[in-house]
Amino acid sequence: MSLKSLAKKRNILIGTAVSGNALRNNADYRNLIVQEFNLITPENAMKWEVFSPKRNTFAFDDADLIVDFARNNNQKVHGHTLVWDKQIPDWLKRGNFSKKEFHTILEKYINRVVDRFKGKIIAWDVINEALGDCNDDYDGDSFWYKNLGIDYIETAFNLAHSTDKNALLFYNDWGIEDINVKSNFIYKMLENLLIKGVPVHGVGFQMHIGPNFSPNIKNMRDNIDRFSDLGLKVWITEMDVRITDSRCTKEEFEIKQPEIYKAILSAIVEQGKVDAITFWGLDDSHSWITYSLDKNDSPLLFDKDLKPKSAYYAVADALR
């Protein structure tokens, strides 16, 4: 039985991040995504540098391809991401704009993009990774913070909501699965936004983990409870389990990886509060760890030949 059939019985959406290029050029990749998943997140196709490489110019090709593919195959789309410090086009990054002009640029961008996909996107990651390296405060060096001040966060949520009232709006970050300094900060931040009436509907736990940095299961569940108690959805948005940075050998990892997938996801499924789980890439040849971090890793559910790994069966077991 496919992951999506198993997940459906649990009322969980099960997703993968997709590459526009692979979707366009690889029929096996397309078929496997249709067979196994009912939610897809464009891995890069909805980022600012892709949407607006030149000022006042928009390019929606890959995003359209992905959204049309999903709709033709009864899959939902998770939009990623409206406001982030990374993958910002040069014209914007190097532009000499006033605070007012930055505000207008952000406003026009969010309105244009959210409107373009209105009704076709179930959820948007409105803000991605707003914290600094110490994880206990906002990143004061981040592009948006520097140019607009901290209000950029609520501004972005308000703009997105005013354009699409039905899309679920998320704050998305890494390393917040456990109860720790970072998740405490984000909990307070989201609580304050909600008190102010800012339309935030969910928090994305990215879940980029490995043998040396996996959340403690009990703390993770308590963490999910406290965010849910705020009235927020908690989604797993970018899961992968990597060997790089862990102390184990490849052989040990091959045993540990499925164990980690199973332990984390069984606990989440049993708790019954998370209703969407997305993996950050379909297979080991499409992982950011390999092509962004330049590391030889194998963090996903399918191998480079698109064959299911032990990790895949572990996830299926967890859903079962």
Q: Does 87 bind ligand G3I (CB under 6 A)?
A: yes
- Interface residue with ligand G3I among 9, 55, 86, 218 (CB under 6 A) is 86
The phi, psi pair for 297, rounded to 5°, reads -135, 175
Residue 129 appears among annotated catalytic residues: yes
Q: How far is the CB of 122 from ligand G3I (least distance, A)?
A: 18
- Interface residue with ligand G3I among 205, 288, 302, 312 (CB under 6 A) is 288
- Interface residue with ligand G3I among 74, 96, 292, 294 (CB under 6 A) is 292
| Vertex 123 angle, CA 14 and 133, to 5° | 90
Report d(CA 153, CA 149) in Å as an integer: 9
- Interface residue with ligand G3I among 16, 38, 44, 246 (CB under 6 A) is 44
Q: How far is the CB of 6 from ligand G3I (least distance, A)?
A: 26
- Give SS3 for 179: coil
Residues with Cβ within 8 Å of 110's Cβ and at least 6 positions away in sequence, in order, are 82, 83, 156, 159, 160, 163
Size of the residue set binding ligand G3I (CB under 6 A): 9
Tokens of 120: 């076709």
Q: Does 11 bind ligand G3I (CB under 6 A)?
A: no
Q: Among candidates 173, 161, 231, 178, which has minimal Cα distance to 202? A: 231
Residue 238 appears among annotated catalytic residues: yes
Given the complex with ligand G3I, which of 105 and 289 has the nearer CB atom?
Answer: 289
Question: Which residue has the CB atom at the shortest distance from ligand G3I?
Answer: 288
Q: Among candidates 126, 50, 114, 38, which has minimal Cα distance to 77? A: 38
Q: How far is the CB of 188 from ligand G3I (least distance, A)?
A: 22
Report d(CA 11, CA 120) in Å as an integer: 20
Q: How far is the CB of 234 from ligand G3I (least distance, A)?
A: 16
Q: Does 41 bind ligand G3I (CB under 6 A)?
A: no
Given the complex with ligand G3I, which of 135 and 206 has the nearer CB atom?
Answer: 206
Q: Does 171 bind ligand G3I (CB under 6 A)?
A: no
Cis bond upstream, residue 81 (ω within 30): yes
Instruction: Given the residues 36, 129, 191, 254, select the one marked as catalytic.
Output: 129
Q: Does 43 bind ligand G3I (CB under 6 A)?
A: yes
* Cβ neighbours of 45 (radius 10 Å): 25
Instruction: Given the residues 36, 43, 177, 238, select the one marked as catalytic.
Output: 238
- Interface residue with ligand G3I among 128, 135, 155, 285 (CB under 6 A) is 128
In the region spanning residues 173 to 212, those forming contacts with ligand G3I, defined by CB under 6 A, are: 206
* Cβ neighbours of 99 (radius 10 Å): 10
Given the complex with ligand G3I, which of 278 and 319 has the nearer CB atom?
Answer: 278
CB 234 within 8 Å of CB 228: yes
Q: How far is the CB of 281 from ligand G3I (least distance, A)?
A: 7
Given the complex with ligand G3I, which of 66 and 316 has the nearer CB atom?
Answer: 66
Q: How far is the CB of 132 from ligand G3I (least distance, A)?
A: 16
Report d(CA 285, CA 17) in Å as an integer: 13
Tokens of 200: 């935030």
Residues with Cβ within 8 Å of 64's Cβ and at least 6 positions away in sequence, in order, are none
Residues that are catalytic = 129, 238
**Residues binding ligand G3I (CB under 6 A):** 43-44, 86-87, 128, 206, 238, 288, 292
